[in-house]
Structure 1
């Protein structure tokens, strides 16, 4: 194997390591984002249990935000008729 071939092989290995590191970082960020969503959701649900006014505001916002009927059903919102 000549020097060029060795360097090309080394480049290939480095690119694979870079891709693996990027994948690990991406997975780490996805997990952090999921944890943030869970914690915010728990806080909002707790607030909804403790305050009718807060619950009403959240439901109004959800009614505007949620467009998929399968999601709306989770919060007892009326289905959106398609068409």
Structure 2
């Protein structure tokens, strides 16, 4: 069995910590997007003018056909 040097063990540990940190950042970013989306969706249901503005922004922002269909922007 191949013995891993102390230095390589330290490198492996740092790489694992970096991967864990990167994963947590991605999870946090996803959570922020979900929360912002939920807030906007809630507000669009109660405010027709806001809904109109959001749809206008989405119309300018979304390019992919599949994304546009989600908001009936085809």
Secondary structure (helix, strand or coil) at the match of 1:67 reads: coil
Secondary structure (helix, strand or coil) at the match of 1:62 reads: helix
Secondary structure (helix, strand or coil) at the match of 2:57 reads: helix
Q: Which runs of 5+ in 2 are unaligned?
A: none
Two-structure CA RMSD over aligned residues (Å): 1.0
TM-score by length of 2: 0.93
Residue 21 of structure 1 pairs with residue 49 of structure 2 = no
Structure having the higher Rg: 1
Matches within 5 A, 1:1-83: 9-78=5-74
Q: How many positions carry a matched residue from both structures?
A: 71
TM-score by length of 1: 0.83
